[in-house]
Amino acid sequence: MFKKVFYIIIIINLIMMNTIIINANDENMNLTKNYFMEATNQTKAEPTLNSKIAVAYDRKSGKVIYGKNENKRSAMASTTKIMTSIILIENADLTQTVTISAKAAGTGGSRLGLKKNDKITMNDLLYGLMLESGNDAAVAIAENVGGSVEGFAELMNEKAKQLGLENTHFVTPHGLDDPEHYTTAYELAKLADYALKNETFARVVNTKDYTVTINGYPKAISNTNELLGYLNGVNGVKTGFTNNAGRCLVTSVNRNGFEIITVVLQADTKKIRTNDSINLIDYIYENYELVNIKNIVDEKFKNWILINKDRIQINKCKYNNMELYMSELDNNIIPIKKSDKDKINIEINNPYYFEAPIEKDTTIGSLKIVLNEEIIDIVDIKNINTVEKRDIWDYINIFAIELFN
Residues 6+ apart with CB under 8 A from 347: 367, 368, 369, 370
- Catalytic residue, from 78, 85, 101, 252: name it: 78
Q: Is residue 78 annotated as a catalytic residue, yes or no?
A: yes
Q: Is residue 81 annotated as a catalytic residue, yes or no?
A: yes
- Catalytic residue, from 74, 85, 110, 133: name it: 133
Whether the ω angle into residue 173 lies within 30 degrees of 0, i.e. cis, is no
**∠ CA(297), CA(301), CA(302), 5° rounding?**
115
Of the candidates 263, 150, 285, 125, the one whose C-alpha atom is nearest the C-alpha of residue 200 is: 125
CA distances from 205 to 86, 208, 310, 319 (A): 12, 8, 58, 61
Residues 333 and 273: their CA atoms lie apart, in Å, by 30
Residues 6+ apart with CB under 8 A from 203: none
| Number of other residues whose CB lies within 10 A of the CB of residue 65 | 20
The DSSP element (H or E) to which 278 belongs, if any, is helix 270-287
Instruction: Quote the radius of gyration of the chain (alpha carbons, Å).
Output: 30
- Pairing type for strands 246-255 and 258-267 reads antiparallel
Residues 329 and 327: their CA atoms lie apart, in Å, by 7
Contact status, residue 286 vs residue 46, Cβ threshold 8 Å: no
Residues 266 and 241: their CA atoms lie apart, in Å, by 9
- The answer for 60, left when phi > 0, alpha when psi is -120 to 50, beta otherwise, is alpha
- Catalytic residue, from 68, 74, 81, 238: name it: 81
CA distances from 40 to 33, 37, 45, 143, 179 (A): 10, 5, 12, 43, 36
**Helix/strand/coil for 271:** helix
Residues 86 and 118: their CA atoms lie apart, in Å, by 23
Residues 217 and 389: their CA atoms lie apart, in Å, by 82
Active site residues: 78, 81, 133
